[in-house]
């Protein structure tokens, strides 16, 4: 159960959305500027809304009515940003394990070796992010989020910078994570085909409002 | 005495001049290094945090830049002299005397270089992408860890620049130093105050020239080292 109820205003732009999804993969889609990334930032704890409640299963991350607002670092939310945000001064290997020393709480989701193999990162481990292609950076960012042992994964346009050859693999990876680890995934996309195949629930957002909520083709 | 002998003699530093050179280097190094952690901490606060009294703190940190140095030196004498509150406390707790000692010259150098350091470091911290710090937050890192592993490493070129600026300011410091610790040859006399003394002495021209040459050499070396270090850091971040 994923529950996102938010009221937020920023200048001229306002968001008022109440999204409830019973499946494991929720897709937020809609045109750019609809407020999708703002929603992810609120879920991750990087932005505080005026009012709202964010909960996944039994865990309440935010509930302004009850004065609950867990800091981002304690939410254990793996956030794959639209731009990879890798640490430029650290090697790929150190980027991947950055969150590992804080991830000891709870059982480990995946092992470093598995993530490296799955994402094809072996030949990149010693490199700096400046010497990676866009798709390589994105794969490292996905690996880094997975290795922080998250309770929820957020993905902001995860396949944007990935070439077609890898796209299939990444889609399969997301499915694997969903099925094998039962980790809830919330992702943002403007690609309807992607959304249909992966998502159990699809929320269509326009101008900060939820305009449609429907089931996707992904397993519930 | 022949002209040749006079010239070769003119190139040799006297013991008092050597002492002034070493003292300057010691004072500037101790002053710059000991104020660096404080400057980095304050620069981070000013760049990344909002707190009540922020503009007052900012103004206080910049005060030595705009006050006449002689006023700063006199305030140091009032506060850190043997009769000052801080001076008495330091002497009672640690046996540390500052006024009319090289340690006092180091304090004066640190205070005078502080605003320059804070400015350079604050600018470089502001240039660090906040989104990287956010990414570190989502990976579970606490603020101190993000500061140490993301902010400081990425701000290193500015921190080096700030350190060199503070060091250069300390080497050249005159007004606050002479007011707080005087100009005692062999004890508190630095390159700057020694040059001042030499210019007051009708026979001081050779000393003035020698010490001016050393001051130029140290300044060039400091700038060269800072450029070289900054280039190394830039190369590292570019994946070299």
Specify the CATH number for the domain of residue B202.
1.10.3720.10
Mean pLDDT of B181-208: 92
> Smallest CA–CA separation between B166 and chain A, in Å?
26
* A74: chain B residues, CB-CB within 8 Å: 140
Write A169-173 long-range contacts (CB < 8 A, 24+).
A169/A118, A169/A120, A170/A139, A170/A142, A171/A197, A171/A198, A173/A118, A173/A119, A173/A142
* A128: chain B residues, CB-CB within 8 Å: 236-240
Q: Which residues contact A117 (CB under 8 A, 6 or more apart)?
A: none
pLDDT at position B68: 95
Mean pLDDT of chain A: 86
In whole angstroms, give the CA distance from residue A117 to residue A214: 35
> Smallest CA–CA separation between A49 and chain B, in Å?
17
pLDDT at position B43: 96
* A96: chain B residues, CB-CB within 8 Å: none
User: In chain A, what are the domain boundaries?
Assistant: 2-215
Percent residues over pLDDT 90 in chain A: 43
pLDDT at position B122: 95
Q: Which residue on chain A is closest to B155 by alpha carbon? A: A89
* B136: chain A residues, CB-CB within 8 Å: 87, 98
B191 CB within 8 Å of a chain A CB: no
B139 CB within 8 Å of a chain A CB: yes
Percent residues over pLDDT 70 in chain B: 94
pLDDT at position B9: 62
pLDDT at position B116: 93
pLDDT surpassing 90 at residue A63: yes
Give the number of domains in chain B: 1
Inside any domain, residue B133 = yes
pLDDT band of B177, cuts 50, 70, 90:
very high
B153 CB within 8 Å of a chain A CB: yes
Mean pLDDT of A162-187: 77
> Smallest CA–CA separation between B70 and chain A, in Å?
43
Residues of A with CB under 8 A from a CB of B: 44-46, 71-79, 81, 83, 85, 87-89, 98-99, 102-103, 127-131, 144-145, 148
**pLDDT tens, residue by residue, A142-169:** 899 988 888 899 999 877 767 777 777 7
**pLDDT tens, residue by residue, B131-162:** 999 999 999 999 999 999 999 999 998 999 89
pLDDT at position B240: 47
Highest mean pLDDT among A129-138, B118-127, B219-228: B118-127
Inside any domain, residue B9 = no
B228 CB within 8 Å of a chain A CB: no
User: Do B154 and A78 count as a contact with CB atoms less than 8 A apart?
Assistant: no
Of A10-19, A180-189, B34-43, B111-120, the least confident: A180-189
pLDDT surpassing 50 at residue A39: yes
A2-215: what fold? Rossmann fold (3.40.50)
> Smallest CA–CA separation between B153 and chain A, in Å?
7
User: Greater confidence, A32 or A203?
Assistant: A203
Between B132, B138, B238, which is nearest A77 by CB? B138
pLDDT at position A181: 65
**pLDDT tens, residue by residue, B83-97:** 889 999 998 888 888
ipTM topping 0.95: no
Q: Mapped to the 3 state alphabet, what secondary structure does A26-54 carry?
A: EEEECCCCCCHHHHHHHHHCCCCCCEEEE
In whole angstroms, give the CA distance from residue A155 to residue A79: 6
Q: Which residue on chain A is closest to B233 by alpha carbon? A: A89
pLDDT at position A109: 65
Mean pLDDT of A136-147: 89
Q: Which residue on chain B is closest to A46 by alpha carbon? A: B134
Residue range of the domain that includes B227? 14-237
Of A100-109, A124-133, B164-173, the least confident: A100-109
Between A45, A85, A148, which is nearest B132 by CB? A85
> Smallest CA–CA separation between A85 and chain B, in Å?
6
User: Do A72 and B134 count as a contact with CB atoms less than 8 A apart?
Assistant: yes
Would you state the structure tokens that stand for residue B83, as one six-digit string? 């009769």
In whole angstroms, give the CA distance from residue A112 to residue A144: 9
pLDDT band of B4, cuts 50, 70, 90:
low
User: Do B140 and A46 count as a contact with CB atoms less than 8 A apart?
Assistant: no
pLDDT band of B231, cuts 50, 70, 90:
confident
User: Do B141 and A98 count as a contact with CB atoms less than 8 A apart?
Assistant: yes
Mean pLDDT of B42-56: 94
Mean pLDDT of A167-177: 76
**pLDDT tens, residue by residue, A89-125:** 999 999 999 988 887 655 566 778 888 888 889 999 9
Q: Give this prediction's pTM.
A: 0.85
Inside any domain, residue B1 = no
pLDDT at position A105: 59
Inside any domain, residue B5 = no
pLDDT band of B45, cuts 50, 70, 90:
very high
pLDDT band of A70, cuts 50, 70, 90:
very high
pLDDT surpassing 50 at residue B1: no
> Smallest CA–CA separation between B237 and chain A, in Å?
5
Question: What would the DSSP string read from start to end of chain A?
Answer: -EEEEEEEEETTEEEEEEEEE-SSEEEEE-STTSSHHHHHHHHHTSS--SEEEEEETTEEEEEGGGTEE--HHHH-EEEE-SS----TTS-HHHHHTTTGGG--SS--SS-HHHHHHHHT-GGGTTS-GGGS-HHHHHHHHHHHHHTT--SEEEEESTTTT--HHHHHHHHHHHHHHHHHH---EEEEES-HHHHHHH-SEEEEEETTEEEEEEE-SS--
């Amino acid at each position: 159960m994923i529950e996102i109820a938010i009221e937020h205003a920023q200048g001229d732009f306002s968001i008022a959305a109440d999204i409830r999804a019973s499946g494991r993969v929720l897709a937020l889609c809609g045109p750019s500027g609809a407020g999708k990334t703002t929603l992810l930032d609120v879920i991750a704890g990087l932005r505080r809304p005026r009012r709202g409640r964010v909960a996944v299963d039994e865990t309440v991350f935010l509930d302004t009515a009850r004065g609950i607002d867990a800091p981002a670092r304690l939410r254990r939310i793996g956030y794959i940003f639209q731009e990879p945000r890798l640490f430029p001064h650290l090697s790929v290997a150190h980027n991947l394990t950055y969150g590992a020393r804080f991830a000891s709480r709870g059982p480990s989701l995946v092992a470093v070796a598995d993530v490296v193999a799955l994402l094809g990162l072996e030949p990149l481990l010693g490199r700096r992010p400046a010497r990676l292609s866009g798709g390589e950076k994105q794969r490292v960012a996905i690996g880094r989020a997975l290795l922080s042992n998250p309770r929820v994964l957020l993905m902001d346009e995860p396949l944007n910078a990935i070439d077609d050859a890898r796209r299939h693999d990444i889609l399969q990876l997301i499915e694997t994570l969903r099925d094998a680890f039962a980790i809830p995934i919330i992702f943002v996309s403007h690609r309807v085909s992607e959304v249909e195949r992966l998502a159990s629930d699809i929320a269509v957002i326009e101008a900060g409002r939820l305009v449609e909520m429907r089931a996707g083709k992904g397993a519930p | 005495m022949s002209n040749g002998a006079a010239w070769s003699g003119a190139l040799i530093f006297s013991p008092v001049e050597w002492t002034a050179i070493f003292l300057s280097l010691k004072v500037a190094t101790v002053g710059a290094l000991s104020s660096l952690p404080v400057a980095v901490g304050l620069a981070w606060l000013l760049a990344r945090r909002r707190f009540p009294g922020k503009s007052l703190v900012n103004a206080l940190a910049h005060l030595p830049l705009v006050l006449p140095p002689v006023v700063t030196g006199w305030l140091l004498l009032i506060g850190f002299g043997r009769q000052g509150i801080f001076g008495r406390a330091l002497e009672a707790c640690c046996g540390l005397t500052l006024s009319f000692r090289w340690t006092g010259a180091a304090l004066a150098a640190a205070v005078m270089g502080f605003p320059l350091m804070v400015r350079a470091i604050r600018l470089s911290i502001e240039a660090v992408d906040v989104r990287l710090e956010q990414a570190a937050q989502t990976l579970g890192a606490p603020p101190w860890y993000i500061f140490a592993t993301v902010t400081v490493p990425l701000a290193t070129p500015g921190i080096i620049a700030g350190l060199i600026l503070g060091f250069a300011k300390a080497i050249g410091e005159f007004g606050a130093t002479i007011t707080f610790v005087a100009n005692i040859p062999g004890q508190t006399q630095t390159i700057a105050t020694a040059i001042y003394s030499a210019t007051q002495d009708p026979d001081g021209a050779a000393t003035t020239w020698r010490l001016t040459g050393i001051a130029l050499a140290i300044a060039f070396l400091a700038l060269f080292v800072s450029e070289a270090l900054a280039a190394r850091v830039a190369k590292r971040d570019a994946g070299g």
